[in-house]
Copies of this chain bind each other. A is one copy, B any other.
């Protein structure tokens, strides 16, 4: 942050505002405080019979690696709507959300993952613009060594655990561990 987005001044300082307890970007001219907060990454693991749908990333970061359809939640969206939109954008597929399986923290990069399990409607999917390939995998066939993010692996492992138990448990995790 080099300039104030409110008044255009270049007198931005990193200071602790009165009544606050941490450093913020504050404009030395107009006094506005520019708060910065973590982003939500919303996603859904689409399930069809004994398989799950994964997408191979056509974009950086981690181009070429497999992922659970997920992406930044947008203003004006619920987490549920964001998760469904991401499945549509990445896999041209529709899901009926079932339950929230994952709250996964990445505090070093200010990301909080919220991922659902959902039913892949009609078992139908395509390949979204951000993917080079989408495919259904049984647990045994999952390319564990080619997963894009630790969050993807976390959600996949917990999903199969839940399925074996016949439960719909929310799992919480973090990288690095809390």
| A interface list, Cβ under 8 A from B | 1-8, 10, 19, 22, 34-40, 72-81, 99-100, 103, 105, 107-108, 110, 112, 114, 129, 170, 172, 174, 178
**Contact: B103 with A79, CB < 8 Å?**
yes
A111 to chain B, nearest CB (A): 10
Copies in the complex: 2
**Contact: B81 with A112, CB < 8 Å?**
no
**Contact: A79 with B112, CB < 8 Å?**
yes
**Nearest B-chain residue to A72, judged by Cβ:** B37
A57 to chain B, nearest CB (A): 14
**Contact: B112 with A170, CB < 8 Å?**
no
**Contact: A80 with B38, CB < 8 Å?**
no
Contacts of A76 in B (CB 8 A): 107-108, 110
